[in-house]
Structure 1
Amino acid sequence: MRSTTVLTGIVVASLSLAACTSSGEADAEPTATAAAEPVSDGELVVYSGRSEDLVQPLIDDFQEASGVAVEVRYADTTELAALLQEEGDATPADVYFAQDAGALGAVAKAGLVATLPEDISSAVDAGHTSTDGSWVGVTGRARVFVIDSEQVDQASAPTTAAELTDPEWSGQVGIAPTNASFQSFVTALRVLEGEDAARAWLEDMVANDVQIYSNNTAILEAAQAGEIQVGLINHYYWYRLESELGTDAMRAQLVFPESGDAAGIVNVAGAALMAGAAEDADAIAFLEYLVSEDGQQYFVEATYEYPLVSGVEAPDGLPEIGSLTNTDLDLSDLDSLSETTALLAEVGLL
């Protein structure tokens, strides 16, 4: 069992401010400074685009150590981004925990988030978090190709998105157009290569009989079963399946795309503090936990993602994250999510 010592310390430090507001003289008038201090009400609402099986154990740890009751609404990251924009200031959400930077950027662009405390926003190195403190990166996730190694030789496997439109791969490539990570890849393609190039690639993929799946897991399972020869997924899905089946049972294998190619972006899962929770000590404590050593180690051990805080080692066997990061891409530029979904609908993939 993971130690909760660090988490307990974080919660105590964060919530002590709230305790101070009720430990003074009963008839003392609050000052302007005191009114702005974070306050705990012992409750927290999280909108999570990260799946329940991935993050509920982490949330359970936080609840146990903090005593804060956490209500979680699980749904697709993109759906939650749209819901938050629809709810606006009336949203019950205190924290938005998203699967990718694009959705976080879209919500921030709509003016729905608070600027994070400095100790949270500075916990993650630039390049893997927002540039303005509107959200913080929590884990890194490399986009990769998964291949059926019984049909595709590793040495001849595609390493760029452009290769997937070749007739050689007709009917043999799996994608998940409704998945937030795939949508972020398409957004990166738009940013790096332009709108016309992104549209042309998508149209060529449709013409090449691309196979549609609901999510990364379904694509990986299809490659493992030999139903497709190539798929686009996040790296950690493969590592999770390998931990269950064992290395020798893995027919599906990973190929890391060519450095700089849009298909191989390192995206992040991250979290934002909603504007209405700017002074919510419980929400702030939860965000502090996500970027604490304990929180980061959870993701390394349980989900095989890249940690983003210095001093925490990545899972064994992964390439160094810096060797995969595209220096020409600012993750803050992935906020044009609505334009990407409109393009996907235009070409018939949504």
Structure 2
Amino acid sequence: MPRHSLIAATAGLTVLASALTGCGFTGGQPADLQIYSARHYDLEGAFGQFTEETGISVEFISGGDAELLERLKAEGEDTPADVFMTVDAGNLWNAARQNELAAIDSAVLDQAVPEDLRDPQGRWYGLAMRARTVTYNPAKVDPAEFDAKDTYGGLTDPKWKGRLCMRDATSSYTQSLVASLIDLHGREKALKIAKGWVANDVQIMSNDVLLLEAIDAGTCDVGINNHYYLARTLAKNPDLKVDLFWASQGGSGTHVNISGAALVEGSDNPEAALRLIEWLATKGQNAFVDANHEFPVNPTVKPEPVISDFGEFKRMPLNAQAYGDLNAEAVDLLAEAGYK
């Protein structure tokens, strides 16, 4: 089968293929690299810069994490994909577990990406990091009220009853946070924490922006957000009455997750694909993460100014296997706790 022909092994994949969008062909010729990407924001700037610097052109096929993984599996050795890019460590681990990713031997990547933000077998590498931490209305909350050792668990304290807003149980952000708590504390304690949130009459929000607006408006006093949503909102509204508190700095640290990339097993252009991933982890880090106010994974690269103002923080070590392997258990735990 030709390199750039797409197969539809099932009727479901045919529907999927029609739902995905591609861009980046130049001069009527196929691009040098094809990326299957679940990362939907601010791709053009970074990858345009990469093409300018290297002459390697890039095409994107966009979709959800699960959709793109199923597409890779259905296409098998005929896949046109060279790089798989996703927005959750558990998804990267799952793709590696299903043998869709090739191992990379790269001293550049091993030096640029901290050990817990990459696969020990070199099958995927984190590139952008997000922190899910506590936000609050400074007119309503003294940050000294937070439990600095276990901030997430501390929100079960009755003093927060009727004051707490959080994301819904279907959110991957909520599920990954709870999976990390199961990994950290065990299921029994994690269930106790989720039940404590529910007992405090947590108000459920459908997205992080609404959550921040609710805190600003005084609908609730405290929430849990990805840091970059606060950075985006502050960039538009500097008078927003929301501050950030780095969770659990006296204990395990703040929960983090990553967007990352991997070389697809069977790529026809592995050298160029490796060059791209190495570039994204080094010279291209700021181009890749700054527009979305994410943290670079490379410790030698400085964060952009808005999130630099949030201050430094200790992060919870990331366990990608737990995020992937414990996701279903996290969903069941939330349901058992009555968390909607």
Q: Do Structure 1 and Structure 2 share a fold, with TM-score over 0.5?
A: yes
Secondary structure at the counterpart of residue 209 of structure 1: coil
Q: Deviations over 1:146-201 (max 9, x none)?
A: 11222222332454112212233233322223333332211110111001212222
| Structure 1 residue 195 corresponds to structure 2 residue 187 | yes
Partners of 1:263 and 1:312 in 2: how far apart?
Answer: 21
1:241 equivalent in structure 2: 233
CA distance 1:83–1:68, shift in 2 (3 Å):
closer
8 Å CA contact retained: 1:223, 1:229: yes
Aligned partner of 2:97: which letter? K
1:205 equivalent in structure 2: 197
CA distance 1:41–1:262, shift in 2 (3 Å):
farther
1:163 equivalent in structure 2: 154
8 Å CA contact retained: 1:135, 1:270: yes
1:215 equivalent in structure 2: 207
| TM-score computed with the length of structure 2 as normaliser | 0.76
| Structure 1 residue 142 corresponds to structure 2 residue 131 | yes
8 Å CA contact retained: 1:107, 1:113: yes
CA distance 1:48–1:227, shift in 2 (3 Å):
farther
Aligned partner of 2:298: which letter? V
Residue 138 of structure 1: how far off its partner (Å): 0.6
2:85 equivalent in structure 1: 97
Q: Deviations over 1:54-79 (max 9, x none)?
A: 4343234445554524123143xxxx
Residue 48 of structure 1: how far off its partner (Å): 3.1
Residue 222 of structure 1: how far off its partner (Å): 2.2
Aligned partner of 1:208: which letter? N
CA distance 1:311–1:125, shift in 2 (3 Å):
same
Aligned partner of 2:157: which letter? D
Root-mean-square deviation over aligned CA pairs: 3.0
Partners of 1:72 and 1:287 in 2: how far apart?
Answer: 17
1:267 equivalent in structure 2: 257
8 Å CA contact retained: 2:36, 2:68: no
CA distance 1:51–1:341, shift in 2 (3 Å):
farther
8 Å CA contact retained: 1:178, 1:214: no
8 Å CA contact retained: 2:165, 2:204: yes
Name stretches of at least 5 consecutive residues in structure 2 with no aligned partner: 1-28
8 Å CA contact retained: 1:89, 1:276: no
Residue 81 of structure 1: how far off its partner (Å): 3.4
Aligned partner of 1:97: which letter? M
8 Å CA contact retained: 1:104, 1:135: yes
2:62 equivalent in structure 1: 73
8 Å CA contact retained: 1:162, 1:201: yes
Aligned partner of 2:170: which letter? T
2:106 to 90, 101, 118: 118
Q: Deviations over 1:184-243 (max 9, x none)?
A: 211110111001212222233223322222333332232223222111112222222222
8 Å CA contact retained: 1:147, 1:157: no
Partners of 1:262 and 1:179 in 2: how far apart?
Answer: 23
1:334 equivalent in structure 2: 323
CA distance 1:142–1:69, shift in 2 (3 Å):
closer
2:293 equivalent in structure 1: 304
1:287 equivalent in structure 2: 277
Q: Deviations over 1:255-314 (max 9, x none)?
A: 111226567223322122222327444533432332132x21124532332222243223
Q: How many residues align?
A: 300
